Amino acid sequence: MDPTPSLFAQILFVIAAVVTVVSAAIVVFSGRILHSAFALLFTFCGVAALYVFLFADFLAVTQILIYVGGILILIIFGLLLTQRVMDLRFIDQSHQRIGSVLLAAVFAAALIAVVVGTPWRIASQSDAPTVEIIGVSMLTQYLVPFEMASMLLLVALIGAVWLARPRRGYHE
Amino acid sequence: MNSLMIYLAIGVLLFVLGLLAVLTSKNLVKILMGVELILNGAGLNFVAFTRFVAGNLDGQLAALFIIVVAASEAAVALAIILNFYRQIRSIDVDLADSLRG
């Protein structure tokens, strides 16, 4: 990799990092739940951009396809199906603020202590495309987790459909 | 953009913000969003380590499996949320107290 990245790349990186963190903060602190859902879109895209800067090309595309195209759509569907449609504000009252902030601060302190205190061994970095390596290891070294993941997806989707189907008992 | 620390800092921020969302929100869907933030932070850490520390692509595969688990988790969680809403007409977590003695 170029040891001194171009100014343009550095500016793009700063933009991606700031968008990721700021929109994640909006997700958490926005009082309106629909704003949180749309801020989540920018968080996912920002993380995908960071994956590009980490030379994880396949993962960046997968992140956009599955998170933005799948999970976020599911979340917005769930949001719109479970709120009264006329009440567009979707207010979310938060609770137990002090304890939560304390616990989050403890976690943050512990993580920062580990990150700063560990002597990371920096390895040599390769800029090769990752698709071929990932594809080969999916079918050799990671064959069992790969098959387990496909079974997990099948079971989860069938289970989700079964859980969400309308039943005659209590459906008004 | 060449340093491991920046990515780890973003990962820590995503994790802590997700944890805050999970702990403070009363809305089930927002709790789900917090879980997704936490999983994104973990995935970002995996990919950063695979670039700067590991020297092979095992971390990227771990991040890929995280995405798979997140997808199935979101599907099942939203099915549960829909059922919950159908029974209680609300998705306030404080109303899920049928099992309280």
Instruction: Please name each of the domains of chain B with its CATH number.
Output: 4-91 (1.10.287.3510)
- Check: CB of residue A136 under 8 Å from CB of residue B56: no
CB < 8 Å from B in window 22-51 of A: 24-25, 27-28, 33, 36-37, 40, 43-44, 47, 50-51
**Rg (chain A; Cα; Å):** 21
Task: Name the pLDDT band for A42 (thresholds 50, 70, 90).
Answer: very high
> Which residues, including other chains, have CB under 8 Å from residue A128's CB and lie 6 or more apart?
none
pLDDT tens figures, B8-35: 999 999 999 999 999 988 888 889 999 9
State the pLDDT at residue B84. Answer: 87
Cα–Cα distance for residue pair A73/A70, rounded to 1 Å: 5
- Average pLDDT across chain A, whole number: 85
Q: Is the ipTM of this complex over 0.85?
A: yes
State the pLDDT at residue A50. Answer: 94
CB within 8 Å: A164 and B67: no
b (16+ CB within 10 A) / e for B7-45: bbbbbbbbbbbbbbbbbbbbbbbbbbbbbbbbbbbbbbb
CB within 8 Å: B44 and A47: yes
Angle, in degrees to the nearest 10, between helices B28-49 and B4-24: 160
* Higher-pLDDT residue of B86, A21: A21
CB within 8 Å: A125 and B51: yes
3-state class (DSSP) for residue A128: coil
Closest Cβ–Cβ partner in B34, B83, B94 for A164: B83
CATH for A7-117, among 1.20.120.1200, 1.10.1370.40, 2.170.150.20, 1.10.10.10? 1.20.120.1200
Task: Name the pLDDT band for A118 (thresholds 50, 70, 90).
Answer: confident
- From B94, B24, B44, select the one nearest A33 (Cα to Cα): B24
Cα–Cα distance for residue pair A60/A64, rounded to 1 Å: 6
User: What is the mean pLDDT of the segment spanning A133-144?
Assistant: 91
Is it the case that residue B70 has pLDDT exceeding 70? yes
The DSSP line for B18-84 is HHHHHHHB-BHHHHHHHHHHHHHHHHHHHHHHIIIIISSSHHHHHHHHHHHHHHHHHHHHHHHHHHH
CB < 8 Å from A in window 7-66 of B: 7-10, 12-21, 23-30, 32-34, 36-37, 40, 43-44, 47-48, 50-55, 57, 60-61, 63-65
State the pLDDT at residue A11. Answer: 92
Is it the case that residue A170 has pLDDT exceeding 60? no
pLDDT tens figures, A81-111: 887 655 545 556 667 788 889 999 999 999 9
